[in-house]
Amino acid sequence: MLARLSALAMAAALLLPLTALAADAPAKGPDAVGPGYEYYVIGDITAPTPGKTGPLLALMGGGDWPLEAFRQFVKQSGGGHIVVLRARGGRELQDEIYKDVGGVASVETLVIQNEDAGEDPKLLAIIARADGIFFGGGDQSNYIRAWKGTALNKALDAHVKAGKPVGGTSAGLAILGGYSYGCLDSISMTSPEALKNPTAAGVTLVRDFLHLPWLSKVITDSHFDKRDRQGRLVAFVGRLIQEENDPTIAGLGIDEGAAMLIDGDGVGRFYGPGHAWLVRPMAKPATIIAGQPLTYAPFPIVGVGPESTLDFKTFKVTQPTFTLTAQVKDGVLIRSDR
Q: What is the pTM of this model?
A: 0.91
Could you report the per-residue pLDDT of 48-85, keeping only the tens digit for each? 999 999 999 999 999 998 999 999 999 999 999 999 99
- pLDDT-derived band of residue 2, with 50, 70 and 90 as boundaries? very low
In the 3-class helix/strand/coil scheme, how is 131-164 assigned residue by residue?
Answer: CEEEECCCCHHHHHHHHCCCHHHHHHHHHHHCCC
Confidence at residue 287, expressed as pLDDT on a 0 to 100 scale: 85
Contact 131, 80 (CB under 8 A): yes
Q: Give the pLDDT mean for 329-333.
A: 97
Confidence at residue 5, expressed as pLDDT on a 0 to 100 scale: 38
Is pLDDT above 50 for 225? Answer: yes
- pLDDT-derived band of residue 267, with 50, 70 and 90 as boundaries? very high
Q: Give the pLDDT mean for 35-56.
A: 97
- pLDDT-derived band of residue 9, with 50, 70 and 90 as boundaries? very low
Is pLDDT above 60 for 94? Answer: yes
- Which domains are seen in the chain, by residue range? 2-335 (3.40.50.880)
Query: How far apart (Å, rounded) are the C-alpha atoms in residues 289 and 141?
Result: 25
Q: Give the pLDDT mean for 84-100.
A: 95
Confidence at residue 11, expressed as pLDDT on a 0 to 100 scale: 44
- For the chain, give the longest Cα–Cα distance: 64
Give the containing element (helix H, strand E) for 234: helix 230-244
- pLDDT-derived band of residue 150, with 50, 70 and 90 as boundaries? very high
Is pLDDT above 60 for 13? Answer: no
Confidence at residue 28, expressed as pLDDT on a 0 to 100 scale: 76
User: Rounded to the nearest 5°, which phi and psi values hold at 192?
Assistant: -60, -40
Confidence at residue 95, expressed as pLDDT on a 0 to 100 scale: 96
